[in-house]
Amino acid sequence: MLADRYVKIDYKSYEDFIENCKINVPENFNFAFDVVDETAYISPDKKAMVWCNPEGEEKVFTFNDIRRESNRVANFLNLLD
């Protein structure tokens, strides 16, 4: 499981969780790459976000959609450099 890399997830009780919960954030951690892209690789069609408006329209974005759009923005910003 992806979360295993960053946080212990098996606690005996709530008190054990409160006392021992520690999040391991690596020095070069990048949420987009380390979590979104990894989830897109493992489960590309998994629902990541649902956009809705007041008119009742909605659009579902998968982790692969988010990864692809994130890469498009990164490539565009790289061109500005």
Q: Is the pLDDT of residue 8 over 80?
A: no
Q: What is the predicted pLDDT for the residue at 2?
A: 65
Tens of pLDDT, residues 21-43: 888 888 998 988 889 999 999 99
Phi/psi of residue 75, nearest 5 degrees: -65, -40
Beta strands in 1-81 (DSSP E): 47-52, 58-62
Q: What is the predicted pLDDT for the residue at 72?
A: 96
Residue 40: Cβ within 10 Å count: 20
Taking the model in full, what pTM does it have? 0.69
- What contacts 24+ positions apart, CB below 8 Å, involve 71-79? none
